[in-house]
A and B are shown apart, each in its own frame.
Chain A
Amino acid sequence: MTSTTTRRGVTDAYPLSRLQAGMIYHAELAGDASYYHDIYSLRVHGPWDEDAFRHALHGLVAAHETLRTSFELTKFSEPLQLVHAEAEVPFEVIDLRGHQDLDGTLERWRRTEVGNAFDLSSAPLFRFVVHLVGENEFHFWWSFHHAIMDGWSLHSAVAELFAGYAAARQGRDPQFATPRTRFRDFVALELDALDDEDAEEFWQGELAGAEPALLPTPTKRADAIGTVEVSWHDAPDKTVVGVTELAERLRVPVRTVLLAAHLRVSAALLGRHDVITGVIGNGRPETSDAEQVKGLFIGTYPFRLELADSWSGFVASVFAKETAILPHRRYPLAAMVEHTGWNPFDIVFDFRRFRSYEGLSSQDDLSFDIGAYYEHTNFPITSGFVMTPDGSSLRLQIRYDAGRFDPADVDRISRGYLAVLERIATDPESSVVATSALADEDLDALAAHAAGPKLALDGPAGLYQRIETGSELAVRAVDGELDYDELHDLAGRIGGYLAAAGVKRGDPVGVCMNRNRLLLPALLGVLRIGANYVPLDPEYPIDRLRYIAEHSESAVLLYDEASAAVAAELKPQALSVEAAAEHDGAAAPVEVSGDDIAYTIYTSGSTGLPKGVQVRHRAVINLLESLGEVLDADEDMVHLATTSISFDIHVNEVFLPLIRGGSVLLAAREQVSDGTELRSLIESEPGLAAQGPPAMWRMLLDAGWRPYGMSHVLCGGEAFPRELADRLTADGVPVWNVYGPTETTVWSAVQRVAATGSMVPIGRPLGNTTMWILDKQMAPVFPGVPGELHIGGDGVARAYHRRPDLTADRFVPDPFSGNGSRLYRTGDLVRTLDDGTYEYLERVDLQVKVRGYRIELEEIEARIDTHPDVSMGVAAAPMGSDGERILVGYVVARNEIDGAKLREWCSQALPHYMVPQAWVFLDELPKTPNGKVDRKALPAIGGEASVGGDTTEPGTETERVLAEIWREVLELPAVGVHANFFDLGGHSLRALRVVLKVRERLQVELPVAAMIHASTIHRLAALIDRDKPGQNPLVMPLNETGRPTLFLFHPLGGHVFGYAPLSRELDGKVTVQAVRASGMEPGEPLRDSLADLVDAYLTELRAIQPHGPYNLAGWCMGASVAVETARRLRSEGEQVDFLGLIVANPFDPAPRILLNDSTALVQHMLGEGLDLDYDELAALGDTDRQVDYVLNRGSSRADVSSVDDAKRLLAVYQANARAITARTLPDYDGEAHVFVLPAENPTPPDMGWSKILTGPVRQHELPGGATTFLDPDQVSQLAAILAAEVGSAR
């Protein structure tokens, strides 16, 4: 190759190395000029002589062909690098002498320069710049494209340059030698390596079964991604000596010990012990003058090793691996990535021992600061160890992506390196995994961070003894209220009854009850005598209850009347709580220790059986006192209790207010499941505190509720989505994210949710609680790195009842407390954030949370697998697009089976929330290469997957549209028209969505109640089609299946929602057709005389049932309408078999003031639950403004979303009131049934009906109060009477 051979002075052309090609490709891809633009910076103390320097520069460039190389990427069949005979040397001298802010100017220059792109096709690919900064001082810069040169080449070139400069200044000819070895030799070796099958096989073996070792830490600053920063840290002399001596003793290079330490630190950065790091290797040919060649010889190869052994053993393993890699080191990383499809590492190790520095330090009148090399890298972090040639000093240089790490992180990492090196040197026989990768000061900081506040728990050790006393209100339930003294009195009686049955301290007592007035006396009665309660949810399948009752060794159980049938099926002696409450003779309160058990709660178990978590009094008290502090709970606290006692979060709902003198508002089961009902309950009580899972809050918000006026909103049980947090915090009400497993007693962390932000952190530990993030070896990881959350402190449960093995597995020694205490392994993968809070990431096992319920998927699978027709089943809970997970069963069938049968099978053993909502049948389950079920590869529900239950195709257009809506809302691929909405994963929130979509696509208004009663597509379609065209008829069926039809007339408000629970009870027995008022929908006429009303209703009635016998009834104003309708029918010759007048006074049908005073009406109709001042409202003047005001305050009416809605309803109310007030009812001489509420002490006792009814009258007494008697838990007696009377009349 001579200079005469070429076009444009090109003396040689050869292919690019893989790394060069990769760099150029990356830079093109990024479109960023700073990509792989490196800058070297060196401060020189000594005289400046520009001519001499220029002379040296030219000599250097002439001697090394890579400094005269350019790249030609497109003109040839493959990209080539072209070596030019000559290249003009870009060189600039800038005089900054006397300049203020010299350092700032230089730094700005560097940052600008890094953005100046090189034209790759034009040699040379570098620039020299010298800044004159003082009389005897200058700053040398070498700015170059990384593809031409690596760090080694750079440093040796700089050394040659300054040797040449020194010679030139003294008038000598600078000697620059051209090495015989060339960069193209290296490219040739690489091509050989690429053809080397041994190398390929070796590297495939190294990476077999590996997961990419990518940093799990989040991006810190998105705007800084790609900005490389460098930080330097000196190793103390003692450490350098220790490490060097150890290397000598183990007969390995120092580099090997450093690499071993690097693997330990990397493990803590990755959160795993199977570490893969990149190692920067030198691929120079093994020729005598190879070290003098300039070029890009470095290669980065993966180095994979699992932490194990003592340090001396581990260092030996590292050395063995290095030795094994050596022959294959030239195999390019790019080729490995092509094979695996992924980049194996984010962290890179580099070790440099620059012999070439020696030249730099020996120039007579020149001295040098240590140069800074700003090298581009596309790895987030590169840990470089730079050792002086004599081995006397060692510096750690961390090059990092400023978008991924901040300087505090890097300082912490560097402290970790130095601490690990020191620990290795001090005790080389210590365990590698037990050696922390964090420095002592950082471990101390973690310990401080892990601990919640210290809290003194003075006072009684037993929960019962901490309950307040006195005559203040303590409990409100649907069936009554209790003050504290009554509560204690009842607890005393129940405790006495239990004691008489032989229950004593430490004994478990089953509690099979609903949320009624006696629930808290029952729980406290158990605690009062030192016993502990075991919740037995009467809604659970009987098999599960049997297991819990027996496994818990409960000898007795308490049941309420409604649960009697269930209790009778269980083995323990069943004691009626109603009878116990009458017991004469209170039990004396028994003192307990904080270690006594307060309750045992059974949670889903991965072995296929539920496991009983035994929770100590001290743990409960700690929770209540800590949470009480955080929430500032006092005697004003009114806490809503919505949770079944089968879930431990009932504990703070009911006991927190009771230890602070506040009160509990117990919601009935039915109130909790219906967003509208729950909404009105919450809004009826301003200042309420309430808690629930995200699904509950979402349901409320979707029902039109806003948190305005609440004292506390607690959201927990599963991850708290930001979108929900935004909606909940919009009104400024305190919203708290609460986190914790049952095993550490309800909640372990709490945090007030900020109104803005990205995700919602799980907060900080509660009092006397520690929260550690640990790797699999129970070692702390770096802040920000995910690890399993371990919780310690007062909340830790005693054990899983009768499961010592399970207990020992999950409750493990606390290596930090020093006092023999235990940590609970949560199974939650968590990381810390910079602000000190914790972020939940995912589970490490198969536990899922579905609508707040904790479920072990294996327990469901165990049940599916026992079905004789199933070969194998797998359960999964994919996230739906509505933010709620859906439980899906994947089944390989042995014989033909459908989803309905499987659902039934599961329902027999599993609680409703653990029964899969959809079934997918597969020929085989996807498997991982090692034969396990590959859960990540399970198909999404859709396509060919068949979903269980009915599969009847839609028969009409309405059914087709409904099926489409159901599929969207339920996120199922197919739905049969006879399948029940609520069996397919439908819940009240989803019902609301169906109603909204029906309104949009079919232009039909449905009440949510219609979904509850017409819960199949077929029935819903029939309901809709009958109502067409477009009109909302006044009569609608609330159920369908039974025979005789009963017409129920609306109350004053005009709507018929109140009859829904009654209709549910009558389902299958009596068909309920409910008649609502005209005027409720836009455009309907208002009727304000009873005659007009009855005319309209008779037409509708006759359309449904042309002739008698008729059955009619009504509540409130509906009674008057029923009487008048009956009279008219009889006068028209029809037979009326049944007339029911339910809780109504014919002489006092409407508060008179509401007829004349629109302000009072607004307050009455819309202001329920709001603290509205009449005068304030009146001052607003017209009704529009009043309504607007009330709506903005958060009116409780779910059916009112606009001023127009509200005004229409007000008008209906006024019209109705006028209709029945305007005239006195004529006498009625047929038979009638009058229903009254003795609890309301009506005067006269028959509410005045005897003055109108002249025929036979039968009076019935109903339980409940005026506003509650139609509630689901009160209405059964009324339903029973109606079923009997309406049925028998035929």
Chain B
Amino acid sequence: MSTELFAVVRNDEEQHSVWFAGRQVPAGWWPVGFEGSRQECLDHIAQIWTDLRPLSLRSAQ
């Protein structure tokens, strides 16, 4: 169970999350190219997701 692989994914608002590696990513989401354990993915997200505002709001402000 703990060895299950996940992938870091991102949507159009540049919100990040994780999805099951090797499974079709839900519509509206794209893999960013990072895979690992769930924790590794979350640690990676902590590095790359620096502005938690949705993209549309960032652009508008």
A and B associate: yes
Residues of chain A at the chain B interface (Cβ within 8 Å): 431, 433-434, 505-506, 593, 595-596, 614, 777-778, 798-799, 801-802, 804-809, 811-822
* A595:B18 contact, CB within 8 angstroms: no
> Are A818 and B27 neighbours in the complex by a CB distance under 8 Å?
yes
Chain A residue numbers with a CB within 8 Å of B38 are 809
A-B contact pairs, 7 of them (CB 8 A): A593-B56, A614-B52, A799-B52, A812-B18, A813-B19, A813-B26, A820-B29
- Contact A813:B11 (CB < 8 A) given known A595-B57, A804-B45, A820-B29: yes
User: Are B16 and A804 in contact, CB atoms less than 8 angstroms apart?
Assistant: yes
A814 touches B54 (CB 8 A): no
Expressed in whole angstroms, the minimum distance between the Cβ of B13 and any Cβ of chain A is 7
Closest residue of chain B to A801 (Cβ to Cβ) is: B52
Residues of B within 8 Å of A809, CB to CB, are: 18, 38, 42
User: Are A807 and B52 within 8 A (Cβ)?
Assistant: yes
Q: Which residues of A contact B43 (CB under 8 A)?
A: 805
Residue of A nearest to B10 (CB): A820
Q: Which residues of B contact A799 (CB under 8 A)?
A: 52
Q: Which 4 A-B pairs have the closest CB atoms?
A: A820-B28, A820-B11, A804-B49, A815-B26
CA distance A237 to B29 in the complex (A): 38
B33 interface hit (Cβ, 8 Å): no
- Which residues of the other chain, A, contact B37 by a CB distance below 8 angstroms? none
Which residues of chain A come closer than 8 Å to B17, judged between CB atoms? 808, 811-813, 822
> B residues within 8 Å of A by Cβ?
8-9, 11-13, 15-20, 22-29, 38, 41-43, 45-46, 49-50, 52-54, 56-57, 60-61
Expressed in whole angstroms, the minimum distance between the Cβ of A818 and any Cβ of chain B is 4
- Give every chain A residue within 8 A of B41 (Cβ-Cβ): 808
Contacts of B12 in A (CB 8 A): 820
CB distance from B60 to the nearest CB of A (A): 6
Partner pick for A434 among B9, B13, B24, B52, CB 8 A cutoff: B24
A269 to B36, CA, bound (A): 30
Additional A-B contact list (20), CB under 8 Å, known A433-B20, A595-B53, A820-B11: A593-B56, A595-B56, A799-B52, A801-B52, A804-B16, A807-B49, A808-B16, A808-B18, A808-B45, A813-B25, A813-B26, A814-B26, A816-B26, A817-B28, A818-B28, A820-B13, A820-B28, A821-B11, A822-B15, A822-B17
User: Once the chains bind, are A777 and B45 in contact (CB under 8 Å)?
Assistant: no
B53, A805: Cβ atoms closer than 8 Å:
no
Contact between A798 and B52, CB atoms less than 8 A apart: yes
A814 to B22 alpha-carbon distance, docked (Å): 17
Say yes or no: B42 contacts A798, CB within 8 Å: no
Contact B15 A431 (CB under 8 A): no
Give complex CA distance A802, B8 in Å.
18
CA distance A505 to B49 in the complex (A): 22
Q: Shortest Cβ distance from B50 into chain A, in angstroms?
A: 7
CB contacts (< 8 Å) of B25 on chain A: these are: 813
The chain A residue sitting closest to B55, CB to CB, is A595
Closest B residue by C-beta to A595: B57
Whole-angstrom distance between the Cβ of B30 and the nearest chain A Cβ: 9
Considering the complex, give the chain A residue whose CB is closest to the CB of B38: A809
Given known contacts A777-B20, A813-B11, is B49 in contact with A808 (CB within 8 Å)? Answer: yes
Q: Which of A506, A801, A805, A820 makes the CB contact (< 8 A) with B42?
A: A805
Residues from chain B with a CB closer than 8 A to the CB of A811 are 15, 17
Question: Shortest CB–CB separation between residue A809 and chain B, in angstroms?
Answer: 5
Contacts of A812 in B (CB 8 A): 17-19
CB-CB < 8 A to A595: which residues of B? 53-54, 56-57
For B19, what are the chain A residues with a Cβ–Cβ distance below 8 Å?
812-813
Contact B28 A434 (CB under 8 A): no
Asked whether B42 lies within 8 Å of A808 as measured between CB atoms, the reply is yes
CB distance from B47 to the nearest CB of A (A): 9
Residue of B nearest to A810 (CB): B17
CB distance from A1257 to the nearest CB of B (A): 64
B23 CB, min distance to chain A CBs, angstroms: 5
Q: How far is the CA of A818 from the CA of B20 in the complex (A)?
A: 17
Residue in B17, B20, B22, B38 whose Cβ sees the most chain A Cβ within 10 Å: B17
In whole angstroms, how far apart are the Cα atoms of A814 and B11 in the complex? 11
A820–B16 contact, CB under 8 A? no
Cα-based distance from A819 to B15 in the complex (angstroms): 13
Say how far A738's CB is from chain B's closest CB, in angstroms.
Answer: 28
Closest to A812 in B: B17
| CB within 8 Å for A596 and B52 given contacts A813-B11, A820-B12, A820-B28 | no
Task: Decide if A805 touches B45 in the complex (CB within 8 Å).
Answer: yes
Closest to B24 in A: A434
Supposing A595-B57, A811-B17 touch, asked if A820 and B27 sit within 8 A by C-beta, the answer is yes
Residues of B within 8 A of A815 (CB): 26
Q: Which residue of chain A has its CB nearest to the CB of B13? A: A820
CA A1125 – CA B23 in complex, angstroms?
A: 87
Q: How far is the CA of A814 from the CA of B25 in the complex (A)?
A: 10
Chain B, Cβ-Cβ closest to A798: B52
Contact of A819 among B8, B27, B50 (CB under 8 A): B27
Q: Which of A596, A614, A799, A805 has the most CB of B within 10 A?
A: A805
A107 to B46, CA, bound (A): 67
In the docked arrangement, what's the CA distance between A814 and B61, Å? 27
In the complex, chain A residues whose CB is within 8 Å of the CB of B61:
505-506
A814 CA / B15 CA spacing, docked (Å): 12
